[in-house]
Structure 1
Amino acid sequence: MKEICVVVRCFLLFVVLSFAITPSGMAQDATKLAEREQQLAGAVKGNKPAEAAEHAYALAALYKEAGKLDKAATYLGQSLTYSKKASNVEGQYRAHHELGRIYSTLRSYSKALDNFQSAVKAAHALQNKAFETEDLIQCAMTHAALDRPKRSLEPLTEALALALEQNDVDAQAKCYSLLATNYKALGDEKKATEYLAHYNAIILGQKNAREIRELTREGKQSQQLNARKMQELKQQIDQVESEKKLTESELLEQRMKLQQTEDSLRIVEEISVKRQLEIDLLNKDKELASAKIREQNALIEKEALFRSSVIVGILLVGVLALVLIVGYRRKIRVNKRLHQQNENIKSSINYAKRIQEAMLPRKDQQSKIGDSFVLFKPRDVVSGDFYWFFDVPNGHDDPAHNDIAFAAVDCTGHGVPGAFMSMIGINALNGIINRGVAETNAILDALHREIRTALRQEITGNNDGMDAALCIYRREKKMLEFSGAKNPLIYIQNNTLHQVKGDIHPIGGSKTKPTLSFKKHEIRVDVPTTVYLFSDGYRDQFGGKENMKFMSKRFSKLLLDIHTLPMTEQLAILDKTMEEWKDGRVQTDDILVMGIRLGSA
């Protein structure tokens, strides 16, 4: 995770520096700074916020070019203030965007994130989807730099939707790449692989486009080569025609000489020379015709090559378009199926939640024991932890004087599997009490046997079970009975915290004995006593600055600090403390804490 964070921070630094590093002109042009500052002062004095915003932004740009980022940030802040006074949304966007980049360079990532988020809102108000996409990506990258890959998913998803809408391939590639990186950091290899495949598809498409451009460039080079060949042929033709003219001139000269000769030899020689010259002319004409033929062939070859290049380019574009269309349609079909499956799963889980809520104790059952609270925070929609209250008849005529049994139980697993175990446990406990079993150790003994029987653990080898802390409050005797399966009981009397450990073996499981004998502990509660039952979810939650477990020692101290407060305040403090401890981290397990105040005031 830290290595990915470093890579993302380096990438952020590179992107910002690519815009921040420009040739320095501050030292060479101090006059420009002075003029801008005078113009800014004049605009402020003249109550012209729009002009003041522009001058402040220009000063920020000059300081940014000089590498003085703190000064640049100061003037950008002024530009933002004046843009707000002038109701200039575009100026507000520009200031927020540049502030985000500067704070990223300075590694002030929280400030950078605030400004990028404000830039997203301004871009949305301007209806500029390209700006909005860019700053959503910047938000995601800043979350990653803060080692919060899960928080980066939401802005990346929004940016990807906008990029697809605008057909912005570069932005799509960046979103897919960052989504793959963040899901890999979160340990979701399946989604990381899926988004990496999308990214590779875009890169392949861009590579094919470059190859098409390369083929087109090669075609142009071939055309230039053929043009040079044609020029050479033309020069050869011109030379032949020149030589032809020269030959005709020589022939005329020979004729004039022959006319001066009066004997027959002169006539014979003239005829001979004339024939030879005609032969030469015919040869020159033949060479000229051959040159023209070669020129025509070169032209034909060039046109054929051009047509071939165009046809190949069209075919490649067509194939690429077909691949993209087929892939896009397949993606739409898959997304529809996944959406429907998700909806079905959510519906089933919500139905299971309603069933579990119906089986948990009602408020009127909890109120029978008096002043109490229950902190119940499932990790998922449904929970593997459950709390339980039940009347235990004690022979008194008035049911209001019945003893009260209550328990905090942590079943194997969480989510839907844990919820099924919790429903088995609730039904078993209700049945055991209704059969007249009224001792805490006997109740856990019976519960152990029923879980093993219900899950047929002797045959199947199934090892599911539960940890439990069970109490019965004897109203008339002012006595609290406790038995535990791995889970302890904490009670506080006279500002002193006491912990009673449960037995070391759990309830159920194929690795335990078919029958167990749990111990029963008795505690006098004739003085004000605050009792706490809980699962291990609160103590085992990771969080804090060191990302460590909350631990039993810190949990016990917290209970001792708050035990005198009203139960509603204790519930609120426990809930708030856990949320602050998690600080946005994923909840690792179901959380259950019960608090009951017993004894006389």
Structure 2
Amino acid sequence: MRYFLIIFLVTFSIKTNAQNTQYYLFDSIPIQEIDSVDKHIIDSCFTVYYSNTTDTNKANALAYITNAIQYDKWYLFLFSEKNGLNTLLKNQTDEVTISFLNQKRAQCYYNIGFFYYGYESAPYYNQDSAFHYLFSSLALYEQLNDLKGQRGVSNNIGSYYEKQGDIPKALEYYYRCLKIDEETGDSLGMANSYNILGSVAKNENELEKALDFYFKSLTIAEAVKHKYYIASSLNNIANVYLIQFEKDTLLKDDTTLLVKAFDNYTKSLSLFQEINNKYGVAAITYKLGTLALTKKDYKTAISLFESSLEKFRPMNNKLSLSMVLERLAKAELSINRLESAEINAKQSLAIAQQIDYPTYIQNAAETLSEIYVLKGEGLKALESFKLYIENRDKVYNEQSLKAKIVESTKYEYEKQKAIDDLRNEKLIAIEKEEKEKQQLIAYGSTTGVVLSFFLVFVLIKSNRRKQRDNQVILQQKKEVSLQRDLAKANEKIAEEKKVEVEERNREIMDSITYARRLQEAVLPPQKLVKEWLTNSFILYKPKDIVSGDFYWMETANYMQDGKQHSMVFFAAADCTGHGVPGAMVSVICAGALNRAVNEFQLTDVGEILNKVTSLVIDTFKKGNDKVKDGMDIALCGLDIGRKILYTSGANNPIWIISKNKKLITEMAYNTFQHEDELPLYLHEFKSLKKPIGLNDIEEPFTTNVIQLEPEDGIYVFSDGYPDQFGGEKGKKFKYNNFRKLLLENFHLSMDEQKITINDCFENWKGEHEQIDDVCVIGVKINGKERNNFTNREIEVLEYLILGLPSKLIADKMNISNHTVDTYRRRLLAKTNTFNSTELINYCKAKEII
């Protein structure tokens, strides 16, 4: 059986002075939901209410319940308080008591309005009811001439209008608060008002105006020496400086704004620590982390975010926790701490979904998608990206709805104005016509009796003619008005369609741009490629913003004849399709290549392609449809020190240009020689005729070994270059012309070859559309061993010969110990040596130094 604390519906018995007395209360609350402390407070307050004869004491008792109890549904007692106050007011005649009760009613209505607005996701959210009670509260405070009460209600009304996107209305009430502050001489109120006005200006992207408001707030706060408001203003000013830096791309190399932001954040943090404001300390610590992230100081950013997280956790502020966790994941992602970044991003997403906050769901999903790309988990990356797009659209639609509310209000006003103007024009015309009639009648009366009948006849005829003319004019006006309304309606429809198309185009372009970011994350930086393959070039020309082609590079150690050697892998790959679909497939295929080398520790190029085929098929098997997407690829593994090339491929060939007519290899190949380039031969090594991905060919990929000589050149490419239409007859460029182009320009440096090959492509294409993605990689075996090394590697080598340790080398080169060790490992890999002594002996023997 369920027991209730019954208020107003039945009687409630309370023992007072050893007697049982029954009291009528105002509402019904489930008694088992209320703890003993709250029940004692309620019993005591209602005892006072019914035992006391003074209305002011009764009102205080009702108000005390909602202020004192800890019950989750405390707001239910607000309506009890409202009903009780209205009952007390009905028969009251004393002006002082009436004023007191109205004061309590104003506060009660304010609380109910605040309760109804709450959060939009709350089940009791009701915007109309909220405004009804807030404006009722404001009216009572105005009646009482209570400026403090008016300010409090006006501030909340302004806040609600701002949430709706009605900025003019919000500013009207915010400025009303500022005016009251000035009238009452409330300095802290003025500081608060300027801070609010600054926030509105900041959100409307009026950053200079925002700074002006924030500095006014700071000046007032410093004058009254109020540390909280000083800290808040400094924080707000720093936020604007940071936004200005992020928005203005021309200032990216100017750190002045970042320095200003850091100074203000630091001062704000110091003040919050002085007054022991824990939330302020946690929030500013987070802001300093954001600043460090903007400056790409990732380790400092991680440390600050972790500190902020530690401070926020005891507060259980879920919004802040989700925000900090996402930024922490972003910073960890930037230094490749993928496992930790994934854990924090997942936590951020879970909290954001729990509180249903689309902006933070969007941010966490975006970060997760980037993490999964780097981990080579293509499907998870796509799922996270889809969640990011869904919530980005949800955020955008909410913002658009607010904008449309403002626009709708403006449209209704203009529409009503047009109707009023038309009505006024009609009244003026009628009035003018009446005046003309009166003048005509007055003139006729003076003509005498003789002409009176004649004039009456003329007037009647004239009046009939005017009526007909008026009807014609009226009909014409209606037709013109109808056409005008129709034109306006069509114009409005066209404008809405235009906005809709622009929004859709923007969403599509945002998605494509984001896909490019995902793809760029898996491509090795060309600077890194140059550090390993010093005499090389990469020509990469996507057809669209993103590409189905990609280039790939990785390094690994391998064992042969009981000795460890180093190998540099590089490849040109052509995935199914181009644009966004091709780019998504390329992310999956590049991730499979990375896993084959790094996770499965494979160094045999044939085995690598067999494993990549298996991984790609397994990835696409997870869907319901049978997916045959995959890639064609030419894969090379180069032992730089021994000049041995290991090759394997799927559909795409590998070309080697050499002065030697025959190469040292057991693999079959075709040889081409350009008639004008007699000393040069182009050797073509064909690949297995099957793609990477689902297919019916069971033959596995194998590895071919080729011994190269100095000045030999290796070329791998996709089919986009030879298949391009162009020239005078609009035909394909073809492979014969491509071979001829490479042979004719082989004497040039690799950088010059890249420029020449690109210029030839553009000249051939002319006005034609690029039909496919283009990727060409060229690598030349250095004639001089010294050319295998970068200038920085040579510099480290020279210091090693002098016998300097890593720390001293780092000091002399102004780099870190870690960077010196990286150069040392790369020197050992390129020379196939295993310690500094072997390295130095090798370099002396080869006259590298």
TM value normalised by structure 1: 0.47
The one of the two structures with greater contact order (alpha-carbon pairs below 8 A, sep at least 6) is 1
Computing the radius of gyration from Cα coordinates, the structure with the larger value is 1
TM value normalised by structure 2: 0.34
